[in-house]
Amino acid sequence: MVSRKRNAALDKSDEPHPTAFQERLYAACKKIPKGKVTTYGALAKALSSSARAVGQGMRRNPFAPIVPCHRVIASDLELGGFSGEWGNETKQVCRKRSMLQAEGVKFDGTKVARTSVVEVDEMAALVGAPTLVVAKGNAKLKQPRTACTAVARHSRK
């Protein structure tokens, strides 16, 4: 007979269960290329969310480093927070900087160099989110082209 203690160890109910938003967030975060970063705001726009929600989701990320939350920074290109700490001189944020440098992210003083940043439109494309296109005063959503949309367009001809 298996003891109660052992049954408790086999029970997987203690494993993290991300919300639907967190699942989308973590999937998007995994698409940030090594050697690059994006901002909380850019990731939020790509997910039609808020920077604060992205920050809270990153703070609760139980899958690091598989989900590389260290690749998300503040909009002023400062490192922002890491592991619940905020500020360039904190132990965890110094660790974040070291991780990013090891991946090839370039810095300009305490800020990430603009050349290492995945901007809003590129992040939206990586995530597969629609982007806003403004042409001749008319704004419309442009859906990213995928294999499915390419087949659908071809079959209409």
| Residues 97-106: tens digit of each pLDDT | 999 999 999 9
Distances (CA, A) of 39 to 5, 15, 54, 76, 143: 44, 28, 10, 9, 22
Pick the CATH number of 20-127 from 2.30.110.10, 1.10.150.20, 1.10.3720.10, 1.10.10.10: 1.10.10.10
Q: Which residues are catalytic?
A: 69
| Residues 90-142: tens digit of each pLDDT | 888 888 999 999 999 999 998 999 999 999 888 888 888 655 544 555 544 44
For the purposes of burial, counting CB atoms within 10 Å of the CB of 96, is it exposed (0-12), middle (13-18) or buried (19 or more)? buried
